[in-house]
Amino acid sequence: MKVYGTDTSACTHKVLTVLEEKGHQAELVFVSVIRGHDKSPEHRKRQPFGEIPVLEDDGFLIYESRAIMRYLDRRLPGPSLTPSDIRAYGLMEQWISVEQSYVSGPVWTLVRGGPVYEIIRRSPAVDLLPPPPNEAEAAQARGELARAFDIVERTLAAQEYLAGDAFSLAEISWMPYLQYLFASHGGHLVTERPNMAAWWQRISTRRSWIKVGKVLDSVENT
Q: Taking CB under 6 A as the rule, does residue 148 contact ligand GSH?
A: no
Q: Taking CB under 6 A as the rule, does residue 33 contact ligand GSH?
A: yes
Report d(CA 1, CA 14) in Å as an integer: 15
Q: Taking CB under 6 A as the rule, does residue 171 contact ligand GSH?
A: no
**Contact between residue 113 and residue 184 where contact means Cβ atoms under 8 Å apart:** yes
Q: Taking CB under 6 A as the rule, does residue 20 contact ligand GSH?
A: no
Q: Taking CB under 6 A as the rule, does residue 38 contact ligand GSH?
A: yes
In sequence order, what E strands does 14-100 have? Answer: 27-30, 54-57, 60-63
Q: Taking CB under 6 A as the rule, does residue 11 contact ligand GSH?
A: yes
Nearer to ligand GSH, 96 or 190 (CB): 96
Q: How many CB atoms lie within 10 A of CB 210?
A: 10
Report d(CA 4, CA 194) in Å as an integer: 36
Q: Taking CB under 6 A as the rule, does residue 16 contact ligand GSH?
A: no
Nearer to ligand GSH, 107 or 190 (CB): 107
- Strand (E) or helix (H) holding 94: helix 86-98
Which residues in this chain contact ligand GSH in the complex, by CB under 6 A? Answer: 9-11, 33, 38, 51-53, 64-66
